[in-house]
Amino acid sequence: MARVTTAGLRFKKANKEKITMLTAYDYSLAAMVDEAGIDVILVGDSLGMVVLGYDSTLPVTMDDMIHHTRAVARGAKNSLIVADMPFLSYHVSIPEAIRNAGRCIQEGGAQAVKLEGGEERVDTIKAILDAQIPVMGHIGLTPQSVHQLGGFKVQGKDLEGANKLIRDARALDAAGVFSIVLECVPAALAARITAEVSCPTIGIGAGPDCDGQVLVINDVLGMYKGHIPKFVKKFANLEPLINAALRAYKEEVERGDFPAAEHCFTISDEVLEKLY
């Protein structure tokens, strides 16, 4: 199977086929997501919260992103791999943004990058696109702006906020992003944006009318003990299963039941007898 491309995603929008996207941060889960036929794997900076245990995405560094993107790239052969650009990796200057986006591709093995922000990021996005790097936009609740937004809140509920999101989506679309993530946006507004822009929209907490959906894999699998937002659906509840397995392991080791004969390597009596 050939790898999913950005053109393939546009084709899906044109044909009204839904796009699937999930996050992954390591080799093993990336291989499973890939095997399941998910179109896009996002190496999200959400790894700061679900993998590294921070209370926001702000502490995540470029080196963290490269490390995890490389692991995902080793596991996923067919999904399009998008690396999230972390806080401050594209804010300081355009040359620095191009260099960091380039690292995601060259060192990380991603095929595209994602960065947060609307109209105010257009010049940066155009410069990264000029370096031949596909860019996915991200508007609505942009977690790297959590302090400016005053918390993790739904965006675009009032007229001013909704109009700003429409302007942002238009600006990103005109700049040439291959897709836009809409996070925590009222469903009717996301539908309106989706109908208006030429590129596919990928919703997370943005209703059913986006061109595709994305969720954080730890939420989908029920493996995250932190806050679970309203828009998440757990498609499995692995946390109790993992917990039960770990307790069973502890008990069997403590009782001496594990390892059993089938887990052990043998040596011949002849060799044993000749030991000093």
Instruction: List interacting residues with ligand KIV (CB under 6 A).
Output: 23, 42, 44-46, 84, 138, 181, 183, 204, 214, 216
Sequence-separated (6 or more) residues with CB below 8 Å from residue 144:
45, 57, 58, 86, 87, 116
d(CA 98, CA 213): 27
- Buried b or exposed e, range 198-222, using 16+ CB within 10 angstroms: ebbbbbbbbbeebbbbbbbbbbbbb
Min separation Cβ 108 and ligand KIV, Å: 15
Using the minimum distance from each CB to ligand KIV, give the nearer residue, 45 or 211.
Answer: 45
Using the minimum distance from each CB to ligand KIV, give the nearer residue, 55 or 95.
Answer: 55
Using the minimum distance from each CB to ligand KIV, give the nearer residue, 98 or 224.
Answer: 224
The length of the chain is 276
Min separation Cβ 48 and ligand KIV, Å: 8
Answer whether the bond into residue 186 is a cis peptide, omega within 30°. Answer: no
Catalytic residue among 96, 160, 183, 196: 183
Alpha carbon 164 to its chain centroid, in Å, reads 25
CA distances (Å), 153 to each of 44, 141, 156, 186, 201, in order? 19, 7, 10, 11, 20
Using the minimum distance from each CB to ligand KIV, give the nearer residue, 121 or 138.
Answer: 138
Beta strand 80-84 pairing with 201-204: unpaired
Residue 251 designated active-site = no
Min separation Cβ 121 and ligand KIV, Å: 14
Min separation Cβ 249 and ligand KIV, Å: 30
> Could you tell me if 64 and 25 are in contact, meaning their C-beta atoms sit under 8 angstroms apart?
no
Q: Which residues are catalytic?
A: 183
